[in-house]
Amino acid sequence: MYTKQDLINKLINNNKSVNFETIYCSLTNWNIEPDYIDENNIEHYNDTSMQKLVHAMDLKKQGKSDCEINSMINNFKTNTDSYINNENISQLADLIVDRISGKLNINEILDAAKLKRDNEILAHQIENLIKNNENLTSKVNFLEKDYSKFKQIYGPVYIKLF
């Protein structure tokens, strides 16, 4: 964005034969309007305004009248606006395609949620296995203590010692 003074300074720096009054009058005569005026009453122009002004000044050098230039600039504005609208429509279409293809991302998210649920189930099963292992360990320890009270007599025959 350019303020009117920035716009004028840039054009003067690029083209030494142009002066402040010429540019100021050109903006007014050819209906090149600012994009917005801020609270300090400073006018702001965009790159399209800069291009229109440069185009208008080139047409003036070619000897075109202000009426012809104004007509051509308004046509330039219409073509630029339709290009901008087409570009906006293209960006919007790309955004819609991204959203639609985002359904794959939703499926991935759902799959991840299923995996998370599966992980929770597995964690619960592991906790149960650890508890069962602790119970079995305590039973084995008890049986080992109890086993020491028995003496083998013959083959699978044992007697309990008191």
- Answer whether residue 100 is part of any domain: no
pTM (whole model) above 0.85: no
Lowest mean pLDDT among 28-42, 83-97, 148-162: 83-97
- Answer whether residue 21 is part of any domain: yes
Lowest mean pLDDT among 10-14, 99-103, 110-114, 145-149: 99-103
- Same domain assignment for residues 114 and 51: no
**CA 122-126-132 angle, 5° bins:** 145
- Answer whether residue 15 is part of any domain: yes
- Same domain assignment for residues 88 and 117: no
Final residue belonging to a domain, choices 95, 122, 145: 95
- Same domain assignment for residues 89 and 141: no
Is residue 43 within 8 Å of residue 4, measured between CB atoms?
yes
* Virtual torsion, Cα 100, 101, 107, 109, nearest 10 deg: -100
Distance CA(133)–CA(126), nearest Å, equals: 10
Final residue belonging to a domain, choices 48, 71, 95: 95
- Same domain assignment for residues 12 and 75: yes
Distance CA(95)–CA(56), nearest Å, equals: 36
- Answer whether residue 122 is part of any domain: yes
Is residue 2 within 8 Å of residue 13, measured between CB atoms?
no
Interval 107-153: pLDDT, tens: 666 777 788 888 899 999 999 999 999 999 999 988 888 777 778 88
